Structure 1
Amino acid sequence: MIICAGKNETFDFAKQIGVGLIESAMNLTRYILEEKPAFLFFVGTAGSYGNYRPFDIVVSHSASNIELGFLQGACYTPLETRVESHTHHVSRGTNHPSVHVNSSNYITTDESLAKKMLENKHDIENMEFFSILSIANHFNIPCSGLFVITNYCNKNAHNDFLKNHAKAKELITLHVEKNMKI
């Protein structure tokens, strides 16, 4: 099953699961219970903490849920904050190794905190992927994510995302059509 966030990030070949950690978890669970997919392949856009440039295509099988306050020593959690796909569906057509995604309902706009994310082995951010991997693992379903970078995580993050979003969606569509035989 190919899935995407939704709202302004939709694709004809993907089921929409919602934006952010909560909507994506609820709707993906419903799809899994109803359709019982053999694998999950999430496609979406992401912001880069610095190592990847806009329009790079990356694949991931691991994610975290680290809030910026944690990096500042302003909070803690007793919950597991890192998840990796128990098994994953290999995506062909990218030359990048698997990257680590951080997911939060907030977008990073502070460049110094983005650098701290890199120091803590987080490469990119996408709002949904942590919940997707968590749900996939709960149901023991192989899962991978393909992301096109739209922006750096800095003060221009939102404007760059808006400027680059349409092209990023085109790149996702081209990659999926070429490699997934939809």
Structure 2
Amino acid sequence: MIICAGRNETFNFAKEMGVGLIETAINLTRQCLFDKPDFLLFIGSAGSYGNHEIFDIVESKRAANIELSFLEDNSYTPLDNVLESENKMVRNDTIINSSNYISKNFELSKNFNEYGIGCENMEFYSILQVAKEFEIPVAGIFVITNYTNENAHEDFLKNHKAAMQKLTSYLLEKQIIK
């Protein structure tokens, strides 16, 4: 099953799950309870912490839920904040960080790269968490729309349409969709 966030990030071949960690977790859990998929592929946009360029395609099977305050040693969590799917089809080892907030401080957020975390997407961590609970293999394919800097939102809006077209072309090229 191919899934996406929703609102302004929709595809006619993907089922919308909601924006952010909470909406996605609720809606994907509901989906799994009533019609559990054999496999989940999440597609969407991501912001780069600096190692990926605008319009790069990033595949991942690993997600994190680490807040910026962690980088400044101002917080900790007793929860498992990095998850990985057993999926063998994904070739890229980039960890996708998820939060309900978009990073705008590039000097701070680029430090995520030191932990192997290369991008951020609001939904992917909750998707891996739900998939883990229901023992569903999962992967994500992302297109970079912006850097995590003070222009993040403006660049996201400016690049979004072209990025969604590039992502769709990639999925067609890889014969994930027809």
Specify the alignment match of 1:10 in structure 2. 10
Give 1:60's aligned amino acid.
S
Give 1:4's aligned amino acid.
C
Structure 2 alignment gaps of length 5 or more: none
Q: Distance in 2 between matches of 1:113 and 1:82?
A: 19
Say whether residues 1:180 and 2:176 are aligned partners: yes
Specify the alignment match of 2:159 in structure 1. 164
Structure 1's consecutive aligned runs of 4 or more residues displaced over 3 angstroms after TM superposition are none
Specify the alignment match of 1:36 in structure 2. 36
Q: Is the Cα–Cα contact under 8 Å of residues 17 and 28 in structure 2 kept in the other structure?
A: yes
Structure 1 alignment gaps of length 5 or more: none
Q: Distance in 1 between matches of 2:78 and 2:93?
A: 27
Q: Compared with structure 1, are the counterparts of its residues 175 and 89 closer, same or farther at alpha carbon in structure 2 (3 Å cutoff)? A: farther
Choose the corresponding residue for 1:135, options 127, 130, 133: 130
Q: Is the Cα–Cα contact under 8 Å of residues 89 and 143 in structure 1 kept in the other structure?
A: no
Q: Deviations over 1:67-120 (max 9, x none)?
A: 1111112222111111001x22625xxxx6231100000111101112211112
Q: Compared with structure 1, are the counterparts of its residues 40 and 19 closer, same or farther at alpha carbon in structure 2 (3 Å cutoff)? A: same
* Structure 1 residue 42 displacement after superposition: 0.3
* Structure 1 residue 52 displacement after superposition: 0.3
Q: Distance in 2 between matches of 1:90 and 1:108?
A: 29
Q: Compared with structure 1, are the counterparts of its residues 37 and 89 closer, same or farther at alpha carbon in structure 2 (3 Å cutoff)? A: farther
* DSSP-derived class of the 2:117 partner: coil
Q: Distance in 2 between matches of 1:76 and 1:110?
A: 20
Select between 75-84 and 12-21 the one with higher mean Cα deviation: 75-84
Give 1:180's aligned amino acid.
I
Q: Distance in 2 between matches of 1:68 and 1:60?
A: 21
Specify the alignment match of 1:114 in structure 2. 109
Q: Distance in 1 between matches of 2:29 and 2:141?
A: 20
* TM-score w.r.t. length of structure 1: 0.93
* Structure 1 residue 181 displacement after superposition: 3.5
* Structure 1 residue 26 displacement after superposition: 0.5
